[in-house]
Amino acid sequence: MDHVIAVDLGGTQIRAALVCADGTIVAHARTPTLVDEGPQAVVSRTCTLMSRVQRALPAGARLLGVGVGAPGPLDPATGIVYSPPNLPGWDAFPLRAMLVEATGLAVALGNDANAAALAEWRFGGGQGTQHMVYVTVSTGIGGGVIEDGRLLLGRMGAAAELGFMILDPEHGTIWEDLASGTALGRAAASAMPAHPASLLHQIATPATVGAAHVAEAAARGDALAASLMEREARLLGLGFASILHIFSPEIILVGGSVALHNPDLLARARAVAYAHAKVPLYREVPIELARLGEQAGVLGAAALALGAFGAL
């Protein structure tokens, strides 16, 4: 069976896997990214990880190439990464060319959120659809869009930055700055001083509070945390409503730690989205949890390679 090497390059860690054409992960390894050491050191560390998983290639199997999901902005056509916020110093860095030169393998490069969308489409909850939207809600909000059976890329591969939708017309605030996990923690920090009796003060401080603390306190019946989670559900739902109207997908799949660790949140956000749908056909679209969890990154990178090199 054909295999690919899949690389999920993040700001904190690099994950690599050897993956079969059917999505089975044969071998897996990870290592810290250590971005402060610079892009050349990260490329070297990535290649070492790739070599480690390549050793698990079964005898007689064909290695098609490498798929890499990396933080954007990046251009999948040229393989150049353009100053990702969590990869400082990567200004117009030719990542694909560097990996090809170092390994001698064919390399397909894509935005990590787009790659995760491909993974859900090929191997997860989006199988069998022609129109699918994947949204990840964690530190930020990202996503990817499948339209007419193809990944929507746009100019320089920069389409479908769903987290950048403007939801606040008065201040121009984007969805990510309102409804991401980081935004939820920031909202809690702002609210805590006016609510000294909140359980949040027992598990965090305004300087350390995060989305997980808010969810924990809400689950334990804290009124402030519950109101913050309701606000989060409303903001997510408004974004989902916009996605329904803009893309008319067959399904919206939602991943990321904020959604996956709080399934009740998605149910409430779904109700908000449907309440703001302008015609009934949009309310027929399922809004569900993504199915691949932590594996979405490497399976997305695998899908990039399998699609680029002829196995999908």
Per CATH, the number for 2-121+295-308 is 3.30.420.40
pLDDT in tens, 245-293: 999 999 999 998 899 888 899 999 999 999 999 999 999 999 999 999 8
pLDDT at 160 exceeding the cut of 70: yes
pLDDT at 86 exceeding the cut of 90: no
Domain ranges across the chain: 2-121+295-308, 127-291
Q: What angle do CA 12, 17, 18 make, to 5 degrees?
A: 165
Q: Which two tokens stand for residue 45?
A: 């560390």
**What value does the mean pLDDT of the chain take?**
94
| CATH T-level topology, domain 127-291 | Nucleotidyltransferase; domain 5 (3.30.420)
Rounded CA-CA distance 84/125 in Å is: 28
30: β partners = 15
CA distances 248 to 86, 115, 125, 174, Å, are 31, 20, 17, 21
Q: Which two tokens stand for residue 198?
A: 């909140």
Q: Which two tokens stand for residue 19?
A: 């993956």
Of the pLDDT bands very low, low, confident and very high (cuts 50, 70, 90), residue 208 is: very high
What percent helix, strand, coil does the chain show, rounded to 5? 45, 25, 30
Rounded CA-CA distance 31/22 in Å is: 25
- pTM score above 0.75: yes
- In contact, 290 and 253? CB cutoff 8 Å: yes
Helix 39-54 to helix 95-103 angle, to the nearest 10 degrees? 50
Q: Do domains 2-121+295-308 and 127-291 have the same CATH topology?
A: yes
Q: Which secondary-structure segment (H or E) carries 55?
A: none
pLDDT of 310: 76
